[in-house]
Amino acid sequence: MTFSNQISTVLNPDRVLVLETSKKNDALKLLIDRLAAAPEVKDRQELYEGIFHREELMSTGIGLGIGVPHVRLSSIENPVMCVGLCRNPITDYESLDGRPIRLIFMIAAGKDQHAEHLRLLAKVSSKLKDDKLRQALINASDETIFYQILTQKDD
């Protein structure tokens, strides 16, 4: 399968969650549970351990209110993503710039999908540098609107 650089190929509306928690670990667990339901994910426990191991190495809070927990696992068939919109800012995320997290983009790819994994991380990062887009996502009224805003200029 050729990897598409479009977010809509790795994210569907069912994997966008509005989160009410203000705790990092609770948010990550909710996203893991939703992502584990995706057909691309074959082993929920491996996903759980991989995400939390990655966070122990270094926080994935990249700044600007964004967290991008990501992992490559042998049980993943194709890159897949789940997104959390945090209604309550997550202050214990330990972001690089110290700002609370409002958006979490959880990405999982196969062990042998290094290039695809990096392209997806780069795509999410570059898209979210746009202040207007980021603010529109944070202000989205629900999951459907969030998904539409995120994927409307999916190039």
Q: What is the pLDDT of residue 1?
A: 39
Please indicate, yes or no, if residue 130 is contained in any of the structural domains. Answer: yes
pTM attached to this predicted model: 0.94
70 as an active site residue: the answer is yes
Please indicate, yes or no, if residue 22 is contained in any of the structural domains. Answer: yes
- The domain tally of the chain equals 1
Domain of 41, CATH number, reads 3.40.930.10
Structural domain harbouring 49: 7-151
Q: Which residues of the chain have pLDDT under 50?
A: 1-3
| Catalytic-labelled residue, pool 53, 70, 114, 117 | 70
Task: Give the pLDDT confidence of 54-81 residue by residue, as tens digits.
Answer: 999 999 999 999 999 999 999 998 999 9
Please indicate, yes or no, if residue 2 is contained in any of the structural domains. Answer: no
Q: What is the pLDDT of residue 4?
A: 54
Please indicate, yes or no, if residue 1 is contained in any of the structural domains. Answer: no
Buried b (16+ CB within 10 A) or exposed e, 123-154: bbeebbeeeeebeebeebeebeebbeebbeee
Please indicate, yes or no, if residue 60 is contained in any of the structural domains. Answer: yes
Please indicate, yes or no, if residue 118 is contained in any of the structural domains. Answer: yes
